[in-house]
Amino acid sequence: MNILDKIMKPKSIAVIGASTKEHTIGSDIMKRLEEYKFNGKIYPVNPKGGIIQGLQAYTSVLEVPGEVDLAIIVVNAKFVLSTIDQCNEKGIKGICIITAGFKETGAEGAELEKQLVEKLKEYGMRCVGPNCLGVVNTHPDIRMDGCFAESLPERGNIGFVSQSGALGGGILNILKDLNLGFAQFISIGNQADVNAETAIEYWENDDDVQQILLYMESIQNPSNFRKLASRVSKKKPILALKSGRSAAGASAASSHTGSLAGADKAAAALLKQSGVIREFSLQNLFETAKVFANCPIPKGDRVAIITNSGGPGIMATDAVCEYGMQMAKITDETKEKLRSFLPAAASVKNPIDMIASAPIEHYKETLKTVIADPNVDMIITIYLPFLGLKDIDVAKALMEIKAQHPEKPIIGVFMTKNEFFTKLSDMEVNMPFFMYAEQAADGLNRLNQQRLWMERPEGKIPVYDVDREKAKQIIKQSLSEGRAQLTTRESIDVLDAYGIRVCKSGFATTEDEAVAIADSIGYPVVMKMTSKTTSHKTDVGGVRVNIQSAEQLRAEYQDLIAKLTEKGLVDGLEGVIIQEMVKGNREMVCGIATDPQYGPMMMFGLGGVFIEVMKDVTFRIAPLTDVDAAEMIKSVKAYKLLEGARGTKPAQMDQIQETLLRLSQLVHDFSFIDELDINPLLISEKTGEGIAVDGRIKVRMEEAQKALGCECGSCCGCCQ
């Protein structure tokens, strides 16, 4: 038995802090438990004893005569710890603390919550809260409304976790209007113990919960969330509304990757990699939930549209196509059958336009015929009021057909009065209804998104043969000089040590050395300054390209020195890197930025000078699987350029994918890497390879020193 069953499926509940005083939480919770007809025993606990809600109240939980599975605690915060002690003495393992006054109030409350957590661990208890709305289970065998929302819960198939108690209460109050119901509800509050991950794991194999909804303001353990959610979302949909889309987690980073990253991008990447469908408003969250509550997962993405008006049918078609789904190709057999009963003016192509005079019988026969078409995976049925046809009668007819044929998703679009949707809220519905075609297309897209995720391969994290020791020594050398930022040369050498294709190059500190290296590589070449004080070389003229001869190289070298001297930057000059000139017009970028909560994020996208302007980039949380890396490459708009647009040589996708995976391994091996840019990753016109033309690595100094045994800094030369 899962110990969370003591909270979510209790046979007995003690309400500690139960009250007879109207409009108090202790009174409201007692009323909800009674009104919803909890199937177990209820024990009110109040120091004054007496009768509460017609039940004998006990002055202490220790006086309760029977066993208690769940204690709902609503006493003052200062009495919570002693109450937990009494619950332990009574043998209670399930706790729900409604009481506020913990870490949300400041340092004193945080200390109180810390002591609470210690007691919970010591006593082997599980706890929802503190500072929460409570818990609900609508299963007929349980019927527990252990919260203080105004309305009694509606029965449904959703497991819902809310980090906000007030928001959860508001949602419970409007369920009827939404045509939605819950199987279970958990208001996690301060998440001292039970959090979103706990609920996801608990509901993984619970058949009563068919989809999971999350309202989250934070993700406490991103790594654990990813592990659990990516597993559970393969079995049932997980929808999330993640608030707090601010830049609180973004650093004022000097790298391109860092400046484009941010807390919300990290959260978005984590949810995407976990198979979680993210919504950005409560309206969208519950519209999607309504679709999953009434529709099976489709077999494919082929959509048929049935309508009694051409215009909305065309708009629905546009919306379907914009989501990347297909308009189903109706079979000849289906068309022939449709022609047998539809008027001559009707169109039997997709979208199927029955015309305005379509009676209910045509809706029913058309829907049954289209459901039977093997080329159709999902259906949108559109109704506009014409010729006295009643919207609610059409809806009932559609739901009759749906009940007989539950195998395919069907969504109704009824462009009618709001009274229609009010009537629906009083009915048992078996399919979702929306006002607009775009809402229906969005719902089908979410169904298709879940299908694709469930079919998606798990992915593997490959391990490559690399020269880790060489990379380590390069970083240690930088640390020994007190530098968190590696020079361009050091950065490229680290990339090379990890098997990333870099330009053929050499390092020179004099003009003659530069010419000798260029002669050995072969012209044309590129010359780049490398400095311990200047990171963005192009801003100071530190990059010279397409150098065709030794004479031109000498002239460029002398001009560079003159300009740095003029700007007072020559003292920071370490030297110049002479590189092979890779020809190619397609410049990509890949890199790593570290989010303080989510850890290292990988970036890939359009690079070069366009990176900050176009921002055609995508992010994923490290470590990457091979499937993650492949999806990153395909998800950017510049992917079409990589495929070989306008006759250019297609890029080596496998090699670019491997570059991302090797970077992921690099940041795993050296977790103190804070920022890394390869910009540009130039796509060779000759071979299609992605070649690291430039590189930049920055580490977190103290963390790196500790990890590499350089805690004393540079004073004793231990990093040498």
* pLDDT exceeds 60 at position 260: no
pLDDT band at 246 (very low <50, low <70, confident <90, very high): very low
Q: Are strands 525-531 and 12-16 parallel, antiparallel or unpaired?
A: unpaired
Single-letter residue type at 322: E
Q: Which residue has the higher pLDDT, 648 or 259?
A: 648
Average pLDDT over residues 272-288: 95
- Determine the Cα–Cα distance for residues 608 and 586; give it in Å rounded to an integer: 9
- Determine the Cα–Cα distance for residues 48 and 63; give it in Å rounded to an integer: 13
Average pLDDT over residues 573-589: 90
* pLDDT exceeds 70 at position 631: yes
Q: What does the buried/exposed string (b/e) look like for 558-588 if buried means 16 or more CB atoms within 10 Å of the residue's CB? A: eebeeebeeeebeeebbbbbbbbbbebebbb
pLDDT digits (tens, 9 = 90+) for 646-668: 778 999 999 999 999 999 999 99
* pLDDT exceeds 50 at position 91: yes
Closest of 86, 93, 168 to residue 126, by C-alpha: 93
Q: Are strands 302-307 and 695-699 parallel, antiparallel or unpaired?
A: unpaired
Among the residue ranges 198-202, 213-217, 386-390, 680-684, the one predicted with the least confidence is 386-390
* pLDDT exceeds 50 at position 394: yes
- Determine the Cα–Cα distance for residues 493 and 487; give it in Å rounded to an integer: 10
pLDDT score, position 646: 74
pLDDT score, position 715: 45
Q: To the nearest whole number, what is the mean pLDDT of the chain?
A: 92
% of residues, the chain, pLDDT over 70? 95
Average pLDDT over residues 448-473: 97
CB count in 10 Å sphere of residue 648:
16
pLDDT digits (tens, 9 = 90+) for 25-49: 999 999 999 999 999 999 999 999 9
pLDDT score, position 717: 52
- Determine the Cα–Cα distance for residues 304 and 317; give it in Å rounded to an integer: 9
pLDDT score, position 710: 79
Q: Which residue has the higher pLDDT, 175 or 49?
A: 49
pLDDT digits (tens, 9 = 90+) for 307-364: 999 999 999 999 999 999 999 999 999 999 999 999 999 999 999 999 999 999 999 9
* pLDDT exceeds 60 at position 265: yes
pLDDT score, position 712: 55
Single-letter residue type at 481: E
> What's the pTM value of the predicted model, to 2 decimals?
0.89
* pLDDT exceeds 80 at position 257: no
* pLDDT exceeds 70 at position 716: no
pLDDT band at 253 (very low <50, low <70, confident <90, very high): very low
Tokens of 98: 């409604």
pLDDT score, position 78: 96
pLDDT score, position 421: 94
* pLDDT exceeds 70 at position 250: no
* pLDDT exceeds 60 at position 175: yes
- Tell whether omega for the bond before 524 is within 30 degrees of 0, i.e. cis: yes
Q: What is the dihedral of CA 60, 62, 68, 72, to 10 degrees?
A: 30
* pLDDT exceeds 80 at position 14: yes
* pLDDT exceeds 80 at position 471: yes
- Determine the Cα–Cα distance for residues 710 and 480; give it in Å rounded to an integer: 8
Tokens of 71: 């204690």
pLDDT score, position 719: 58
pLDDT digits (tens, 9 = 90+) for 412-432: 999 999 999 999 988 999 999
Q: Which residue has the higher pLDDT, 718 or 558?
A: 558
* pLDDT exceeds 80 at position 166: no
Among the residue ranges 10-19, 345-354, 500-509, the one predicted with the least confidence is 500-509
Cα–Cα distances (Å) from 195 to 189, 333, 616, in that order, read 9, 53, 34
* pLDDT exceeds 60 at position 541: yes
Helix (H) and strand (E) counts for the chain?
26, 30
pLDDT score, position 507: 92
Among the residue ranges 82-91, 186-195, 567-576, the one predicted with the least confidence is 567-576
How far out from the chain centre does Cα 117 lie? Answer: 28
Average pLDDT over residues 218-239: 95
Tokens of 144: 């527990």
pLDDT digits (tens, 9 = 90+) for 123-136: 999 999 999 999 99
Domains and CATH numbers, the chain: 5-209 (3.40.50.720), 302-455 (3.40.50.261), 504-581 (3.30.1490.20), 586-707 (3.30.470.20)
| Angle formed at CA 61 by CA 59 and CA 62, multiple of 5 degrees | 100
Helix or strand run (H / E) with residue 695? strand 695-699
Beta bridge partners of 184: 137, 159
* pLDDT exceeds 50 at position 258: no
pLDDT score, position 177: 80
Helices (H), 577-652: 611-614, 626-635, 639-643
